[in-house]
Structure 1
Amino acid sequence: MSSYMAVLRLPFAARTFAAALVGRLSYGTVFLSLTLALTSATGSVGRTGAVVAVFALVIAGLAPLRARLIDRHGARRVLIPLSLAYSGSLLGLAAATWRPGTPLWVLEGAAVAAGATAPPLGPTMRTLWRAMCGRDRALMQRAFSLDTVAEEVIGVSGPLLVGLLVLVVDPALGLVLSAGLVAVGTVAMMASPVVGTAAAGRPRGSAEQQEPQEPQERREQPAPAPRAGLFRRRGLRTDRTASQRPLARILEPVVAATGVGLGLGAQNLVIVAFAVQRHQTSAIAWAEAGMSVGSIVGGLVYGAVTWSAPARTRLPLLTAALGLCVAATGLAPNVWALTTATTVTGLFMSPLMACAYLVADELAAEDARTAAGAWVNNAFNAGSSGGYAAMGTALARLPLGWCFAVAAAPMLVAAGVARAWQPRVKEAAPAPEAGVDVAEAVPVAVQ
């Protein structure tokens, strides 16, 4: 635990992280709040599902774009307007669901507005962690592990908070709570001094982060060729080829996150079938609780250990281990064995995501780190939805035990792809520009 205290003792780390968690708690409360408010207002599960699906799809579809805006224009300029617009959209949804009779198109329009403006607080916080940790990769691993565990806790506590809230007030007030959390948390997070000194997400030549002046001899060199200038305007290095664009650079963690999302999404539906087949629906809650507990414990242990193998080596190993655990879950004969199996599976969940974020940070270009984290997060979420949807066909044709093996297959394939891609990325990585140490581009400590 002392290793995590070292993370929180970094200048301004505790206050920045606390503010970010307040804002991110909104994502733990908003989906259940929206579902309950819509069900109460429309009286239709079908309409509720349509609006929630629109909300989730727009959030996922535009997440990389919002993160890229932060990389180009800075966190304060982007996140504060986004958070205020998002809060206003949630308040509009709360007003629309307060009384029955609101047309479906109005609800969907408000959901689109909210999804389009949802601020990427998680990717931004990980970018700030990098700025605070500087070149200390071990410290950054602990910071990312702590961050991932906190996300897991939010995923569990958010719905519980909403469940308690709706016992005494209208479900629409859950949307009001979500709006307040994200507005207060984002503004407090952006008030932290570390935001103004973080190199990632700061456009070159801005007032807050000026590049060092080049020697006169270098400034008088001829201008680069037009093609190089085009790439530099896009925020890419001048020596990149088409195959070295930002998404290609972070293919390893994106593929791993996609495979894990597919597998865990599929496993969730198989667990539901397992519980229904045995007439023990409580097994669903026990299995999910076991997964969460395992993930929290695994993340805390993983972050506290100093690993000799680099993160890029650990990533495919963690992905394969998670896949093997999911496959082994198919051997569970009863609810208690199932819960034990999901708890063991959870031990690898937070470590894998923390490692994926760390690898994405290592491989991404200096001015695309927030977007890299958003791509990893989005890949997991999209994979989870796709795996849940696709598993229905397998459940209809295969024995239940084999369905767990099917759920594990995307993870094992992703582990192989991530491992096979490593030499290609290593060879393609551009050399640092003359006279510039890339690792020094981020300040080691905040003044």
Structure 2
Amino acid sequence: MAAGYLEILRARHAARLLTGTLVGRLPNATAAIAIVLFVRAEGGTYSLAGGLAAVYGVANAVGQPVLGRLVDLHGQPRVQLPAALASALAMACFAVTGTDPLALAYACVAAAGLFTPPLEGGLRALWPSVLGREEQVHTAYAMDAVAQEVMFAAGPLLVTLCVSLWSAGAALVVVNVIGVLGALSVVVSPPSRAWRSAPREAHWLGALRSRGLLALLGAFLFVGMALGSITVASVPYADEHGGDAVYGWIMAAIGLGALIGGTVYGARRWTGEPARRLQVLVALLAVCYLPLMLMPGAVAMVLLTVVAGLFLAPVIACAFVLVDRHAPRGTVTEAFSWIVTTFTVGASVGTGLAGPVVEAGGAVWGYAVPGAAGGVSLLVLLATGRVLAAPGGPRVVAACSENDPNRAVEPRFSSGDRA
């Protein structure tokens, strides 16, 4: 199982790019908890902390595809590093000024979210130029999804460690400095400096003119909703079965399940249509959410949550393959950034939806939301199956400048036009 991953990590620059991207994304992965802890340390209310965290999340969702388009137009170093510096400076300003004046606090977190560099989409755009074969790129997508789970588990631990050793404000600064160093490591690497997007058709919709990408975004909105709703539904369950410790174990179990599932998925070379495979994976994801409604004892519930997370990373990895296939020429970074944005928005919607559901029917109905959301995601994929079907003919990944290995000219493409 490890052979495929080791083969990728032995490829020149691969380990550096993966590590640098994960480190560079640390501020984004820890922003919510870091903001909440800082606001509470400043004497603010949970409502204020939640409001500031929400503003960061919305700004981040807006900024990712915008910056992704700029990366496609101007290259990675000219966008990623300035964006990382701007985001870190904004968060440092927030750490220094605190929550008073309130308008400045909101402006700082909004700027920090808006300028978060699209390192995730940028890494996926680099894989074809770093790796030589299509199956290696697909394995790299799975490894990327698995690594995210490790980062999202380790990030909050780093924040709480900084808070305990120094202060909540210091944690904000330290995490963002580390993030800038990670982004710097990526953008000064030869693959990042050499990467150039293919010429693109001038179109204001950019990547969103692809019907296949729109279908994926519609499905992923509900996958995000499923994951977001679990975080809320688990709160009343934990209150009745052991408190915060049980809640922490449940949240960790989701990541553990995704880690196991993604590792196994990426270790195998898959054949057949990825669109059909994504339908099967989403169906399994939705089915595995349903046993959570049984709400057994804490130990059994944690085990069920591990099972519920098994197909999350495989779904993400398979979706990356389809994004690669359906992103219009010259829009690969933007297309991957749209997936990140849609998943984030879906998780926020799921969190907001699960709250009233839990208040009305308790935790059991809260746990019904992820299964229902997964079912709707499957319906979207089934309804758009023809659109998502891969184009005919074999696809071979070569060492090229972006995820457009066949360099097929799109209809109405005008050479040299750049949106």
TM-score, normalised by the number of residues in structure 1:
0.83
**Distance change (3 Å), C-alpha of 1:46 and 1:417:** closer
Assess if the C-alpha contact under 8 Å between 1:256 and 1:319 holds in 2.
no
- Structure 1 counterpart SS, 2:166: coil
- What is the distance in 1 between the residues matched to 2:375 and 2:123? 30
Q: Does 1:167 align with 2:164?
A: yes
Q: 1:322 aligns with which of 277, 285, 296?
A: 285
Q: Does 1:393 align with 2:394?
A: no
Q: Does 1:363 align with 2:361?
A: no
Q: 2:346 aligns with which of 376, 383, 400?
A: 383
Tell me by how many angstroms 1:46 deviates: 2.4
Q: Which runs of 5+ in 2 are unaligned?
A: 403-419
- What is the distance in 1 between the residues matched to 2:220 and 2:397? 26
Q: 1:151 aligns with which of 148, 153, 162?
A: 148
Q: 1:203-218 residue pairs with structure 2 within 5 A? A: 204=199
Q: Which amino acid aligns with 2:257?
A: G
Which residue of structure 2 lines up, in the alignment, with residue 442 of structure 1? 400
Tell me by how many angstroms 1:340 deviates: 0.9
Which residue of structure 2 lines up, in the alignment, with residue 208 of structure 1? none
Identity, % of aligned positions = 29
Assess if the C-alpha contact under 8 Å between 1:320 and 1:411 holds in 2.
yes
Q: 1:63-212 residue pairs with structure 2 within 5 A? A: 63-97=64-98, 102-134=100-132, 136-199=133-196, 202=197, 204=199
Tell me by how many angstroms 1:251 deviates: 2.7
Assess if the C-alpha contact under 8 Å between 1:298 and 1:350 holds in 2.
yes
Assess if the C-alpha contact under 8 Å between 2:31 and 2:53 holds in 1.
no
Tell me by how many angstroms 1:247 deviates: 4.7
- What is the distance in 1 between the residues matched to 2:298 and 2:336? 36
- What is the distance in 1 between the residues matched to 2:393 and 2:78? 31
- Structure 2 counterpart SS, 1:140: helix
- What is the distance in 2 between the residues matched to 1:438 and 1:354? 18
- 1:116-149 CA distance string (max 9 Å, x none): 2111111111111133235x22111110111111
Q: Does 1:11 align with 2:15?
A: no
Q: 1:414 aligns with which of 377, 396, 400?
A: 377
- Structure 2 counterpart SS, 1:365: coil
Q: Which amino acid aligns with 1:31?
A: A
- Structure 2 counterpart SS, 1:367: coil
Q: Which amino acid aligns with 1:407?
A: P
- What is the distance in 2 between the residues matched to 1:82 and 1:417? 34
**Distance change (3 Å), C-alpha of 1:400 and 1:115:** closer
Moved more, 276-285 or 47-56: 276-285
- What is the distance in 2 between the residues matched to 1:64 and 1:260? 19
Tell me by how many angstroms 1:275 deviates: 2.0
- What is the distance in 2 between the residues matched to 1:5 and 1:106? 47
Q: Which amino acid aligns with 1:394?
A: V
- What is the distance in 1 between the residues matched to 2:359 and 2:138? 42
Tell me by how many angstroms 1:431 deviates: 10
**Distance change (3 Å), C-alpha of 1:102 and 1:405:** closer
- What is the distance in 2 between the residues matched to 1:443 and 1:84? 26
- What is the distance in 2 between the residues matched to 1:127 and 1:398? 44
Q: 1:254 aligns with which of 217, 226, 230?
A: 217
Work out which of the two has the higher radius of gyration on C-alpha atoms and give 1 or 2: 1
Which residue of structure 1 lines up, in the alignment, with residue 29 of structure 2? 28
- What is the distance in 2 between the residues matched to 1:161 and 1:263? 27
- What is the distance in 2 between the residues matched to 1:27 and 1:406? 26
- What is the distance in 2 between the residues matched to 1:91 and 1:400? 38
Q: Does 1:313 align with 2:313?
A: no
**Distance change (3 Å), C-alpha of 1:4 and 1:24:** same
Q: Does 1:276 align with 2:239?
A: yes
- What is the distance in 1 between the residues matched to 2:362 and 2:160? 35
Assess if the C-alpha contact under 8 Å between 2:211 and 2:387 holds in 1.
no
- What is the distance in 2 between the residues matched to 1:331 and 1:157? 30
Assess if the C-alpha contact under 8 Å between 2:75 and 2:195 holds in 1.
no
Tell me by how many angstroms 1:399 deviates: 5.8
- Structure 1 counterpart SS, 2:296: coil
Tell me by how many angstroms 1:115 deviates: 1.6
**Distance change (3 Å), C-alpha of 1:117 and 1:402:** closer
Assess if the C-alpha contact under 8 Å between 2:198 and 2:329 holds in 1.
no
**Distance change (3 Å), C-alpha of 1:40 and 1:399:** closer
Which residue of structure 2 lines up, in the alignment, with residue 49 of structure 1? 50
**Distance change (3 Å), C-alpha of 1:84 and 1:352:** same
Tell me by how many angstroms 1:282 deviates: 2.8
- What is the distance in 2 between the residues matched to 1:7 and 1:111? 36
Q: 1:266-305 residue pairs with structure 2 within 5 A? A: 266-278=229-241, 280-305=243-268
**Distance change (3 Å), C-alpha of 1:438 and 1:232:** farther
Tell me by how many angstroms 1:30 deviates: 3.1
- 1:184-221 CA distance string (max 9 Å, x none): 1111111111113334xx263xxxxxxxxxxxxxxxxx
- State the Cα RMSD in Å: 2.6
- Structure 1 counterpart SS, 2:72: helix
Assess if the C-alpha contact under 8 Å between 1:251 and 1:418 holds in 2.
no
Q: Which runs of 5+ in 1 are unaligned?
A: 205-230, 238-243
- What is the distance in 2 between the residues matched to 1:151 and 1:234? 32
- Structure 1 counterpart SS, 2:165: coil
Which residue of structure 2 lines up, in the alignment, with residue 234 of structure 1? 203
- What is the distance in 2 between the residues matched to 1:379 and 1:245? 12
Moved more, 252-261 or 391-400: 391-400
Tell me by how many angstroms 1:245 deviates: 4.8
Which residue of structure 2 lines up, in the alignment, with residue 220 of structure 1? none
Which residue of structure 1 lines up, in the alignment, with residue 409 of structure 2? none
- Structure 1 counterpart SS, 2:359: helix
Q: Which amino acid aligns with 1:37?
A: F
Tell me by how many angstroms 1:151 deviates: 0.9
